[in-house]
Amino acid sequence: MRGFILAAGLGTRLRPLTDVLPKPLVPVGGQPLVERAVAQLVAAGVVEIAVNLFHLGEQIAAHLGDGSAWGAKLKYFREGPEVLGTGGGLKNAEEFLRGDGDAFMLVNGDVWHSFDLRQLAHAHRPSSLATLAVHRAPHRPELHTLAVCQDEPGGGSVAHIRGRPSQAPNDFKVIYSGIGVYSTRILDRLPASGPACLVQDGMIPAMAAGESVRWTEPLGAWFDCGTRAEVLRASAYALRLRAQGHPAIP
């Protein structure tokens, strides 16, 4: 399985810091977010990894190099003159993502988490369009936009994305963590060129056409590091884990 790190965002909520530093290089607990993402993918056995670049992207490429420092083999996909979005970024790397397999692992470059990504890879079923890692955060209720059904321990089917859950008694809402395993079939759903949204242009139409999307809830913490407050919360948590002797990468 190959991996893809979304690292082309503008980081507008973190300005003025991101006027001079791309968001994926923002340090959390002393380590840049994108560096940790590479290390976590490698720990899960995903060593061939693509990274898309746009805003100050050369800084990311200069920092990570060829990835050998983390045991990875990195390939960069530069975007321009406009950012391609989550869907367009994947479509731009279609040949790489198809590779020799039928699925790839996707990670947002602006999240900090302590999930064991091997669990996510193990949970994915080839018949599913995607298996999404989800999280529940009581302090961020506005992020709970994924309605799911729990039809097995720790997982189940996704009922709605950005929609209202059905009336089934076991439905509830969770956060999509920005981390998932996707079948390469999702690439067939995305526009051939130009900006596109993975969810709006790919996932929602595919689900309407009958594709199955599943979820799993890995153990661990998760932070959306798009604001200063969340970066500080994530850093405090990471430093606390380090002080307690926990391994840096699950």
Return the pLDDT at 105. 98
Reported as a pLDDT band with limits 50, 70 and 90, residue 107 is very high
pLDDT tens for 74-100 read 999 999 899 999 999 999 999 999 987
CB 201 within 8 A of CB 89: no
At residue 187's C-alpha, the angle toward residues 73 and 93, to 5°, is 35
- Residue-range definition of the domain harbouring residue 33: 2-243
Spatial CA neighbour of 150 closest among 127, 173, 125, 130: 173
Note whether residue 38 is domain-resident.
yes
Note whether residue 248 is domain-resident.
no
Note whether residue 57 is domain-resident.
yes
pLDDT tens for 113-154 read 999 999 999 999 999 999 999 998 777 777 767 888 877 767
Domain harbouring 39, CATH code: 3.90.550.10
Mean pLDDT of the residues in the chain: 90
Return the pLDDT at 80. 86
Note whether residue 249 is domain-resident.
no
Chain centroid, CA 74 distance in Å: 17
Note whether residue 250 is domain-resident.
no
Total structural domains in the chain?
1
pLDDT tens for 144-199 read 678 888 777 677 888 888 655 555 555 678 889 999 999 999 999 999 989 999 99
Say how far apart CA 76 and CA 173 lie, in whole Å.
35
Q: What is the mean pLDDT of residues 23-51?
A: 96
